[in-house]
Amino acid sequence: MKWLGLDWDEGPFRQTERFDIYRAYGEKLLSEGKAYRCYCTPEELEIRRQETIEQGKSYKYDGRCRDIKDQIDKPFVLRFKMKQTGTTIINDLIKGPVHYDNSQLDDLIIIRSDNTPTYNFCVVVDDVDMKITHVIRGDDHLNNTPKQIQIYQALGWTSPQFAHLPMILGSDKTRLSKRHGATSVIAYKDLGYLPEALLNYLARLGWSHGDQEIFSLQELIELFNFENLGKSAAIFNPEKLLWLNSQYIMKMRPEDIALRVIPFLKNDGINTDNIDIKWLVRLIILLQERAKTLLEMSKSIKIYIEDNYQIDEKARQKFLNPQGIANLTEMVQELDKLLPFTAESIGSLFKEFSETRGIKLKDIAQTVRVALTGSTASPGLFEIIELLGKERTLKRLKSVLGGIF
């Protein structure tokens, strides 16, 4: 959450540290006759469960220990006495009213035989104890809610407002979980995603504000509401997240990108201590609209920092052929003479070079690009040359020529 830029006001609270509170509430319900001791063993329950399933019926605890008056000298759990008639209604902020027939709600265990409380009991007690007004959670909890509502009532408390958000599904349409590829939030950090982008993407999943796609955290805080939340599950779409990430990278200040990309460079074995930040920022400006993630950005930067880049084999065959080498040799001489050494003057030189030789600009440009960066794709060549400077440009080009002859 911290990585996402999210903050919280209280806690965290550990339920394991609050066991006494839950037990006290359990005792209270027991003494008021709203809960009872159940002596059925897990094994017995399992057998009964199997039997009902075999008969094709839905299992529900039959309440056989409800009316045992005397305390028996056997291990027991505390079960909550659910109403058996009538209806429990959730007035959900998102789903609207949801009705449950009380006859299908069974007496759930609130305290285990080892005297520890169960999840469904803990959350209710916590809400009561901490005077929680709104419970907002995934709609996989919707079915627990009617049971919880009855416990709030038994505790003499009006239940909080509920809002059950739709699930986020994986591309296979099953619930997103640790099992299938569902990368954890922090894994996106390592992949070079910006927390702002991920947060934006997640917020837009199941919620909308007209046609707006990009929201700052501040806007999200101001605009987020229950009315514009959707009811149906959404499928996680990595491509759109990637697009959003690239949008954020394009709009971010290059100085800020520099700060965030440095850890990636370090991670790639680059000594970032002697990097000239101003130079790095200039490079980032050129890379900003081409890199979709910080990781991509880092890989691109590496090419301009380290001179031992690899030349793509296909590119070499296509552009560093005999004609290309001849042109490159002449270009090295021209560049060597060039003053001042700026993107503008370099551009003029290239145009003049191609015109006087009757070749296309892109032919010489691509040849130099491949020699200089190892690839047919890069930011504007003249800017790259300027950024590298005369010395390193010539060093790189000569080394390519040297490697061939």
Q: Which residues are catalytic?
A: 178
Q: Do the Cβ atoms of 80 and 32 come closer than 8 Å?
A: no
Instruction: Assess 380 for contact with RNA (CB under 7 A).
Output: yes
- What is the token pair recorded at 175? 């619930």
Instruction: Assess 192 for contact with RNA (CB under 7 A).
Output: no
Applying CB under 7 A, the span of 5-13, 64-72, 199-207, 333-341 interacting with RNA comes to: 199-207
The helix (run of H) or strand (run of E) holding residue 147 is helix 145-154
Shortest distance (Å) from residue 273 CB to RNA: 29
- Cis-peptide, bond into residue 75, ω within 30° of zero: no
Return the C-alpha torsion angle 222, 223, 226, 231, nearest 10: -140
Nearer to RNA (CB atom), residue 247 or residue 272: 247
Q: Nearest 5°: CA angle at 233, between 230 and 236?
A: 110
Shortest distance (Å) from residue 3 CB to RNA: 21
Applying CB under 7 A, which of residues 102, 120, 161, 345 lies at the interface with RNA? 120
Applying CB under 7 A, which of residues 139, 159, 301, 324 lies at the interface with RNA? 139
CA-based Rg of the chain, rounded to a whole angstrom? 33
Phi then psi for 358, rounded to 5 degrees? 65, 30
Binding positions for RNA, 345-364, rule CB under 7 A: 347, 361-362
Applying CB under 7 A, the span of 179-187, 319-327, 333-341, 369-377 interacting with RNA comes to: 369-377
Return the C-alpha torsion angle 66, 70, 75, 80, nearest 10: 30
Phi then psi for 184, rounded to 5 degrees? -70, 160
Instruction: Assess 220 for contact with RNA (CB under 7 A).
Output: no
Instruction: Assess 313 for contact with RNA (CB under 7 A).
Output: no
Shortest distance (Å) from residue 206 CB to RNA: 4
Applying CB under 7 A, which of residues 319, 369, 388, 393 lies at the interface with RNA? 369
Applying CB under 7 A, which of residues 4, 28, 63, 118 lies at the interface with RNA? 118
Applying CB under 7 A, what is the total number of residues that bind RNA? Answer: 81
Nearer to RNA (CB atom), residue 102 or residue 272: 102
Applying CB under 7 A, which of residues 234, 305, 394, 404 lies at the interface with RNA? 234
Q: Where are the alpha helices (DSSP H) in 155-192?
A: 185-190
The helix/strand/coil state of 36 is strand
Instruction: Assess 205 for contact with RNA (CB under 7 A).
Output: yes
Closest CA to 29 of 139, 131, 107: 107
Phi then psi for 65, rounded to 5 degrees? -95, 0
Binding positions for RNA, 242-261, rule CB under 7 A: 242-243, 246-247, 250
Shortest distance (Å) from residue 2 CB to RNA: 21
Return the C-alpha torsion angle 13, 17, 18, 22, nearest 10: 130
Applying CB under 7 A, which of residues 21, 93, 191, 233 lies at the interface with RNA? 233
Applying CB under 7 A, which of residues 28, 345, 366, 394 lies at the interface with RNA? 366
- Cis-peptide, bond into residue 322, ω within 30° of zero: no
Closest CA to 304 of 317, 290, 287, 327: 287
Instruction: Assess 86 for contact with RNA (CB under 7 A).
Output: no
Binding positions for RNA, 16-75, rule CB under 7 A: 40-42, 45, 49, 56-61, 75
